[in-house]
Amino acid sequence: YTEAIQSYRDYLVYQPYLPAIYNNLGRSLVPAGDSAGAETAYRRGLELFPDEPTLSNNLAILFKEKGDVTSALEIYEGGKNAEGFHNLGLIRAQEGALEAAEAAYKQALVRDPGMVEVYYSLGGLYLLMDQFEHSAETFETFLKNSPDNPTLERRTKSRLLQLYPVL
């Protein structure tokens, strides 16, 4: 990662107006063990590009991985992109705030109806909420629009087989 980090830093000297450079620098610094540097790169990028969803999402992920869920939630709640709302839903579901998780997942789908992973998460949430019909319908929607993810497809089919006797 050392060469990549140096390349991104050099590039920022000459072309500091590309959000991808700040993002790539941050993503290179994390596995190199410099989470503080990654945070700085994401924040600097967000100063210049406050509406850049990738930077805000990666900053939130960094906070969550460091155990600072409060800061991650603040970023997700202030976000405008589907991925951020999906991640917000995941955190809310882990906290047991199921209605808040459902609202976040629905916001993710409003912003990007093609983000099919949200249907998988929402189907699982409906299971937790004992809304079995909603769960089955949502899992079926996921399978109809399934991404190329055989593991999620297999898990979804397994869940549907468990649901059908209940319905």
Q: How far apart are CA 119 and CA 137, in angstroms?
A: 10
Contact 62, 38 (CB under 8 A): yes
87 SS3 class: helix
Residue 155's pLDDT is 87
- Taking each helix axis as running N to C, give the angle between helix 117-128 and helix 132-144, from 0 to 180 degrees, rounded to the nearest 10: 170
Mean pLDDT, consecutive 10-residue stretches, the chain (167 aa), reads 94 91 96 96 94 91 93 86 90 94 96 92 95 93 84 86 79
Q: pLDDT (tens digit, 9 = 90+) per residue, 142-157?
A: 999 876 788 888 888 8
Question: In angstroms, rounded to a whole number, what is the distance separating the alpha carbons of residues 128 and 5?
Answer: 43
Q: pLDDT at position 162, please?
A: 83
The answer to whether 19 and 53 have CB atoms below 8 angstroms apart is no
Task: Measure the CA–CA gap between 163 and 167, rounded to whole angstroms.
Answer: 6
pLDDT at position 39: 97
Tell me the per-residue pLDDT of 111-125, one tens digit each, with 9 for 90 and over. 999 999 999 999 999
pLDDT of residue 3: 94
> Token pair of 132, please?
């079995």
Contact between 5 and 32 (Cβ < 8 Å): yes
Please tell me the pTM assigned to this model.
0.76
What is the model's pLDDT at position 154? 86
